[in-house]
Amino acid sequence: MDKIFFKQMYFYGYHGAYPEENRLGQRFYVDLELGLDLRPSALTDDLNKTVNYAEVYGAVRKEVEETQVQLVETLAERIADRLLQDFPIEQVLVRVTKPDPPIPGHYQAVGVEIFRSRA
């Protein structure tokens, strides 16, 4: 299956299990892999036969910046559901990364990755 991918889309949201995360907010990175057949658009050079990247970005931005959930697992699931509903894709891999969670210790980032499909 062909893929369209987005790497490290950057958003600011208010998701988290701790009150300060909901009050202060933090950065989130979202990576996507959208599985679909790209041949029709490639052969015709027709945007209407593929996925509009700007519309995908807008849908993800809306989920991250205009909603509030406690878990990045929930956020990733909501992003996957929305993309499968709104776009002609067969499958989606969503990775949500929190580079600055309020967790003591030394690490680069924490996050989740989920894979969902229509079938």
Catalytically active residues, by annotation? 98
Q: Which residues does residue 26 pair with via DSSP β-bridges, in sequence order?
A: 13
User: For the packed helices 72-86 and 53-65, what is the interaxial angle rounded to 10 degrees?
Assistant: 150
- Is residue 112 helix, strand or coil? strand
Q: List all residues 6 or more positions away from 110 whose beta carbon is below 8 Å from its beta carbon.
A: 72, 97, 98, 101, 103
